[in-house]
Structure 1
């Protein structure tokens, strides 16, 4: 299964909630990908949103022992929202209307269930190439 969190209407995320989600991610990795966790260290990527760089979050990531991939100050090319998952998810939502949060959750579950291993591997394998372009451009925006 896929780990994701939906915020309730009018709810915002803060450092406490984000750190709690990081703990849940760590537990899910330990449960589902223990061989990967034991074999290699975790390299974590996030953007520079205030709650991602807060002292509490930095301490939590240090406690988890995860290496944080530095995100250039302005580089939409490496933004988490630019990851192919979100493009595909957006395409699956185009033209859809949901009558309830439960309908939306059902759609998300179906969307995630339909993605095969290759879908996830392809997206992950594209990241080093995207990062290399950003490095070559000194963090400047890369025209696609």
Structure 2
């Protein structure tokens, strides 16, 4: 599984999970910490807005506790929305065109 964290200009941080793993709260928090480091290195420690899809109930408590110390504003966004195309559309559209009609 590929996990992507986007900013306005593109992918800021990505991680690949093992084939048989799922996105657990601990994985989510670890990625959030890595994202924070990347953002601070590239943009400084100023306040950031984080657009987030709905969280799984098991992630919510640890997620809220973690991001509260970051000074980020979290903007909740529906998982499926006409405003944004899924990440795989942008990431894999060229691969799909290349493989179209091939077996």
| TM superposition score normalised by structure 1 | 0.51
Shift of 1:90: 2.1
2:30 maps to 1:20: yes
How far does residue 59 in structure 1 lie from its aligned partner after superposition? 1.1
Residue 53 (structure 2) pairs with residue 47 (structure 1):
yes
Check conservation: 2:49, 2:73, Cα contact below 8 A: yes
Seen in structure 2, the aligned counterparts of structure 1 residues 10 and 51 have a Cα distance that, compared at 3 Å, is farther
Select 2:81's aligned residue among 76, 96, 115.
76
Q: Could you tell me which runs of 5 or more consecutive residues in structure 1 were left unpaired when the two chains were aligned.
A: 97-144
Aligned to 1:91: 93
Supply the distance in 1 between the matched residues of 2:58 and 2:41 (Cα, whole angstroms): 24
CA radius of gyration, larger in: 1
**Alignment pair present for 1:5 and 2:15:** yes
Equivalences, count:
88
How does the TM-score come out when normalised to structure 2? 0.68
| Cα offset, 1:69, TM superposition | 0.4
Structure 1 residue 71 displacement after superposition: 2.3
Which residue in 1 is equivalent to 2:63? 57
- 1:98-131 alpha-carbon deviations (Å, 9 max, x no partner): xxxxxxxxxxxxxxxxxxxxxxxxxxxxxxxxxx
Return 5+ residue gaps in structure 2 as ranges: 1-10
Find the aligned partners of 1:92 and 1:59 in 2 and give their Cα distance. 39
Higher helix share: 1
Root mean square deviation, CA, Å:
2.7
2:40 aligned with 1:30: yes
Deviation at residue 52 of structure 1 after TM alignment: 8.2
Q: RCO (CA 8 Å, sep 6+): is it higher in 1 or 2?
A: 1
Helix, strand or coil at the partner of 1:4 = strand
- Offset of 1:70 from its aligned partner? 2.4
